[in-house]
Structure 1
């Protein structure tokens, strides 16, 4: 469980001390490098604000981090299963390769056995691990100002058309169409519940969504139209701020989101979103309760539509809305994430952080 680990300060001190007592029990993910390590890693120690701690390597990989090449955090899993050791070594040697099951078979392994082994150890298949690594490498190359061809090569796509199609599915815009003088910037945000994309201008956050949300592509297209085609990739002060605030949230340190928001919606929709921000972490409301709370008791369906139109996940906590019978209802990020977020927020229930999700905008 996420909060079974000691607090951030304790784990950071263990990292500084290279405490072997946490070996295999805790790992550090470093936002500034995209790498995760054992706490005994001999590498130079990162700043505490750049560190997120997890209890398993699977959580680190799902959050989008790559294993350190100095302390080899995947080594125990590799030693326990020769197939894992061989495939991880092959991935390190050819991170740009477009891996297929036929490659796994060619290396002498049964594809279904490998799928089960990787899912058991990491919560994802080998092919999913390889694909995530390739796409993130390509995205980061473009975000750092690299050319499209560099992003294509770093992502391991042999053809420009294949890279273009993958990128188009990801953010709704082909890499060659990205603005060189953006008004809005897309940035990659790793979290324990999966990678997210943040879209911001230089002063406000416009979107925060999980990459696998079905509505993401259409939301990105609308934002591109709002920016008159000036959507690009890069980091901004708001995107860096939301990374810090999400890290604090998942670390169990703070449920406060102070990131300035740009809200794209009607007056009624914004009223509903404001009501969502009033729900304290650890608590839930039904659509009908929200409708009554905003003085529109007959507008339950309209409230549900406004809730579903939210494109700033977690900060505007639409996951705190449940059915009138107490059941979980639809959530664009997936019901499993909704359940997990509600479990995480029980940590804040009854604390001094009640109501702390209110943000400026």
Structure 2
């Protein structure tokens, strides 16, 4: 829910005072510059008559303002939540630890508050995120040729059945069904916005998704069937290429991805994906504009479905598509990631 904004005079006073209570909960658009900021921005303060206040980043963008380069107002809202920030740091420090509600209580956190905060920002709870991080350790063990029992122990699961069940929910298949020397190999890639899973063959990339996306198991199951059960866990040459290009993207050095893609979709769907790739980094388009670009101006809904069916995140940039009113519409990786990706790409326009 959006924070109900107080009157303009109160907000302007908060802007002058750089009041942290409003950080991530209210924004100011400066009409004289066309830029929007957090109220805690260190830049010189505008005159009151040049200020418009908003409750969300989406409202600022729909009003035509662009993000400030000093205060980065499009950074994930989760960073402004002290509970989330503290627990994310703990998770990074102890990735293999089996976190439970009793741990949260012992540290003085209310489990229900933590659960709501993480669900609001990420769509999953802290405990689910911690479980996913432990699965990553097991995933890496399998990718290095380790046994299933070793992967289970590295992931901190006490029982084989619990590990098989958790692995199946993530990958769409139990570890025992994964093939050796498989045609397609899934590899776990860390990024500044969370872990991604990349599936490639010896030549091309078939799938790139954030590991916490709810649609991921279904997408991997389709690839499993398409490859006639030839799906495994491991690292191929295209994974190294992808890692290099993702690093260049996230560090602001290059928005270009040249890795070959294997696209699984109808002719119409692939035409939409190609149109998405034509949107320049730092720019956004509406579904209607994409429909017009492929010569099907009345197919807005079909374009939206094709956008949602994209299995290669970032490289096929479905995050660059917004609502007709300028709002940040749904994104499988989470709206907080969509905000951050748009912010990252703004630097490529300079």
Provide TM-score, normalisation by structure 2. 0.68
Post-superposition Cα deviations, 1:291-325, rounded to whole Å, max 9, x if no partner, equal: 11111111111111111110000000000011111
Are positions 1:291 and 2:291 aligned together? yes
1:126: Cα distance to partner?
7.9
Are positions 1:222 and 2:222 aligned together? yes
Give the Cα separation in 2 of the matches to 1:126 and 1:204. 34
1:109: Cα distance to partner?
4.5
Aligned Cα root-mean-square deviation (Å): 3.0
Alpha-carbon contact 1:101-1:111 (below 8 Å) kept: no
Give the Cα separation in 2 of the matches to 1:157 and 1:307. 36
1:245 matched residue in structure 2: 245
Q: 1:296 to 1:151 in 2, by over 3 A?
A: same
Give the Cα separation in 1 of the matches to 2:197 and 2:287. 27
1:343 matched residue in structure 2: 343
Are positions 1:176 and 2:182 aligned together? no
1:112 matched residue in structure 2: 110
Aligned length: 260
Are positions 1:280 and 2:283 aligned together? no
2:208 matched residue in structure 1: 208
Give the Cα separation in 2 of the matches to 1:308 and 1:129. 23
Are positions 1:162 and 2:162 aligned together? yes
Task: In structure 1, list runs of 5 or more residues that go unmatched.
Answer: 1-58, 63-80, 351-361
1:188 matched residue in structure 2: 188
1:133: Cα distance to partner?
4.2
SS of the equivalent of 2:110 reads helix
Are positions 1:302 and 2:311 aligned together? no
1:290: Cα distance to partner?
1.1
2:81 matched residue in structure 1: none
1:268 matched residue in structure 2: 268
SS of the equivalent of 2:162 reads helix
Alpha-carbon contact 2:199-2:205 (below 8 Å) kept: yes
Equivalent runs, 1:1-361 vs 2, <5 Å: 98-102=98-102, 109-112=107-110, 130-350=130-350
Q: 1:129 to 1:170 in 2, by over 3 A?
A: closer
Give the Cα separation in 2 of the matches to 1:342 and 1:189. 21
Alpha-carbon contact 2:208-2:311 (below 8 Å) kept: yes
1:100: Cα distance to partner?
2.1
Post-superposition Cα deviations, 1:196-220, rounded to whole Å, max 9, x if no partner, equal: 1001111100000011111111100
SS of the equivalent of 1:156 reads coil
Post-superposition Cα deviations, 1:49-107, rounded to whole Å, max 9, x if no partner, equal: xxxxxxxxxx9xx9xxxxxxxxxxxxxxxxxx9x999x89xx86xx76633233566xx
Give the Cα separation in 2 of the matches to 1:111 and 1:294. 51
Give the Cα separation in 2 of the matches to 1:197 and 1:229. 18
Give the Cα separation in 2 of the matches to 1:172 and 1:162. 15
1:127: Cα distance to partner?
5.1
Give the Cα separation in 1 of the matches to 2:219 and 2:230. 15
Post-superposition Cα deviations, 1:312-348, rounded to whole Å, max 9, x if no partner, equal: 0000000001111111111111111111111111101
Give the Cα separation in 1 of the matches to 2:109 and 2:231. 40
1:237: Cα distance to partner?
1.1
Task: In structure 2, list runs of 5 or more residues that go unmatched.
Answer: 1-74, 79-85
Alpha-carbon contact 1:199-1:207 (below 8 Å) kept: yes
Post-superposition Cα deviations, 1:135-191, rounded to whole Å, max 9, x if no partner, equal: 221111000000101100111111110000110111111111111131110000111
